[in-house]
Amino acid sequence: MQSGQELIIGIDAGTSVIKAVAFDLTGRQIAAASVRNKYVSGADGSATQSLGQTWKDCIAALRGLGDKVEDLAGRTAAISVTGQGDGTWLVGSSNRPVADAWLWLDARAAPTVVSLAGGQANRARFEETGTGLNTCQQGAQLAHMDRVMPELLDLAETALHCKDWLYLNFTGVRATDPSEASFTFGNFRTRRYSPVAIDALGLTHRRALLPDVLDGSEITHPLSSEAANACGLLAGTPVSLGYVDMVMTALGAGVRSSGRNAACSTIGSTGVHLRAKPVADVHLNREGTGYVIALPIPGTVTQVQTNMGSTINIDWLLDMAGYLMAEAGKPASHADLVARIDRWFFESQPGAVLYHPYISEAGERGPFVNAQARAGFSGLSVRHGFPDLVRAVVEGLALATRDCYAAMGDVPQELRVTGGAVRSSALRRSLSASVNAPIRLSRREETGAAGAAMMAAVAIGTYPTMDDCIAEWVTPLLGEAEQPVAAEAARFDLLFSAYADIRKAMPAAWQTLATAAAMPPVT
- Is residue 238 predicted with pLDDT exceeding 60? yes
pTM greater than the 0.75 cutoff:
yes
Q: What are the pLDDT digits (tens) for 64-104?
A: 999 999 999 999 999 999 999 899 999 999 999 999 999 98
Q: What are the pLDDT digits (tens) for 150-171?
A: 999 999 999 999 999 999 999 9
Amino acid of residue 408: M
Higher-scoring residue by pLDDT: 311, 95: 95
Higher-scoring residue by pLDDT: 171, 339: 171
State the pLDDT confidence band at 1, using cuts at 50, 70 and 90.
Answer: low
Beta bridge partners of 354: 378
Q: What are the pLDDT digits (tens) for 398-407?
A: 999 999 998 8
Beta bridge partners of 263: 275, 415
State the pLDDT confidence band at 129, using cuts at 50, 70 and 90.
Answer: very high
State the pLDDT confidence band at 3, using cuts at 50, 70 and 90.
Answer: low
State the pLDDT confidence band at 408, using cuts at 50, 70 and 90.
Answer: confident
**What pLDDT is attached to residue 381?**
93
Of 218-227, 360-369, 408-417, which has the strongest mean pLDDT? 218-227
The answer to whether the CB of 414 falls within 8 A of the CB of 261 is no
Give every CB contact of residue 413 below 8 A, 6+ residues apart in sequence. 437
State the pLDDT confidence band at 2, using cuts at 50, 70 and 90.
Answer: low
SS (H, E, C) 282-322: CCCCCCCCCEEEECCCCCEEEEEEEECCCHHHHHHHHHHHH
State the pLDDT confidence band at 308, using cuts at 50, 70 and 90.
Answer: confident
Of 152-156, 271-275, 346-350, which has the strongest mean pLDDT? 152-156
Q: What average pLDDT does the structure give for the chain? A: 92
Neighbours of 340 (CB within 10 A): 15
Higher-scoring residue by pLDDT: 107, 67: 67
Give every CB contact of residue 221 below 8 A, 6+ residues apart in sequence. 167, 170, 171, 172, 173, 238, 239
**What pLDDT is attached to residue 352?**
80
Lowest pLDDT segment from 89-93, 362-366, 488-492: 362-366
